[in-house]
Amino acid sequence: MIIMMGGPGTGKGTFSRLLHNVCPQYSHIETGALLRAQPDGSPIRLAIAGGNLVSNELVCDLISKTISQTHGDIILDGFPRTLSQAQWLVNNYATKYNIHVIYLNVSDEIMIDRINKRRTEGSTRKDDANLDTVKHRLETFHNITMPAIGWLGSEPDNIKFSDIDSSEQESKNFARILSALQIPTQNA
């Protein structure tokens, strides 16, 4: 199981899709898409529209159901987002999968620039819609997700963790990811 983590606009979805193209034997579970696919007005959609995280219980249940319907290796994109979700994931899946966390590490300025670019290029994501929501997402990332990333990077002995500088152009960032996963670049 490859877990893509990082703040908003770091490229979790982009690199997960690229990785799935290189390693088609992996199923790609895009957590954000799963959450955004929930019905309008649902607690999940209302939380997302406000730039907030969905409750641990709702997300873990959705991820558990999705993993149970998936066969083989997995690229998990955008989960876990909290320390309790990270602990739940390790407790429930570290004995079933070899887990490798890829942390896409970039500055807030780059994240904001990428989200602005995504918006100006026609993104219809409600959580990209205005700067206040984006700033709230960054604050949430630092206060809630970074402790999970810190824990995954230092605590569990049964997983691998790679801190990837993904501040450069896409091809260089992807080459770093492939190197961390020990996937030959000629496959890319």
Alpha carbon 63 to chain centroid, angstroms: 13
Q: CA angle 6-9-11, nearest 5°?
A: 70
Give the type of residue at 16: S
- pLDDT at position 46: 83
- Give pTM, 2 decimals: 0.89
Q: What is the pLDDT of residues 160-187, one digit of tens each?
A: 999 999 999 999 999 999 999 999 876 5
Residue 139: the pLDDT is 93
pLDDT digits (tens, 9 = 90+) for 12-68: 999 999 999 999 999 999 998 898 888 888 888 888 777 677 889 989 999 999 999
For the residues 132-156, what does the mean pLDDT come to? 91
Q: What is the mean pLDDT of the chain?
A: 90
Q: State the Cα–Cα distance between residues 174 and 163, nearest whole angstrom.
A: 13
